[in-house]
Amino acid sequence: MFSGQHTLLRRLEEADAEKIFSHWNNYELRQYLPSPLPSSQQDLIELVRTKDKLFRERSEFFFGIEECCTSKELIGIINLESISWISRHAFIGSFCIFKPSLRGKGYGRDAMLTLLDFAFNVIDLHVVALLVESYNKHAIGLYENCGFMKRGTMRELVYRNGKHCDVTVMDVLKKDFLDRYGILPKGENII
Ligand X SMILES: CC(C)(COP(=O)(O)OP(=O)(O)OC[C@H]1O[C@@H](n2cnc3c(N)ncnc32)[C@H](O)[C@@H]1OP(=O)(O)O)[C@@H](O)C(=O)NCCC(=O)NCCS
Would you tell me which residues interact with ligand X (CB under 6 A)? 32, 95-97, 103-109, 132, 136-139, 141-142, 145
User: What's the CA gap between 147 and 113, in Å, rounded?
Assistant: 9
Q: Shortest distance, CB of residue 77 to ligand X, whole angstroms? A: 9
Which CB atom, from 83 or from 108, has the smaller least distance to ligand X? 108
| Beta carbon nearer to ligand X, 21 or 32 | 32
**Identity of the residue, 54 or 129, whose beta carbon is nearer to ligand X in the bound complex:** 129
Q: Are 148 and 172 in contact (CB under 8 A)?
A: yes
Where residue 176 falls (left for φ over 0; alpha for ψ -120 to 50; beta otherwise) is alpha
Q: Which residue's CB atom is positioned nearest to ligand X?
A: 141
For the CB of residue 64, give the shortest distance to ligand X in the complex, in Å.
Answer: 13
Full DSSP string of 7-74 = EEEEE--TTHHHHHHHHHT-HHHHTTSS--S---HHHHHHHHHHHHHHHHTTS-EEEEEEE-SSS--E
Whose Cβ is closer to ligand X: residue 49's or residue 105's? Answer: 105
Nearer to ligand X, 56 or 89 (CB): 89
- The DSSP string of 133-171 is ETT-HHHHHHHHHTT-EEEEEEEEEEEETTEEEEEEEEE
Q: Which is nearer to ligand X, 31 or 42 (CB)?
A: 31
Shortest Å, Cβ 109 to ligand X:
3
Minimum Å gap between C-beta 75 and ligand X is 9
Shortest Å distance, C-beta 58 to ligand X:
23
* Rounded Cα gap, residues 30 and 58, in angstroms: 27
State in angstroms the smallest separation of the CB of 154 from ligand X: 13
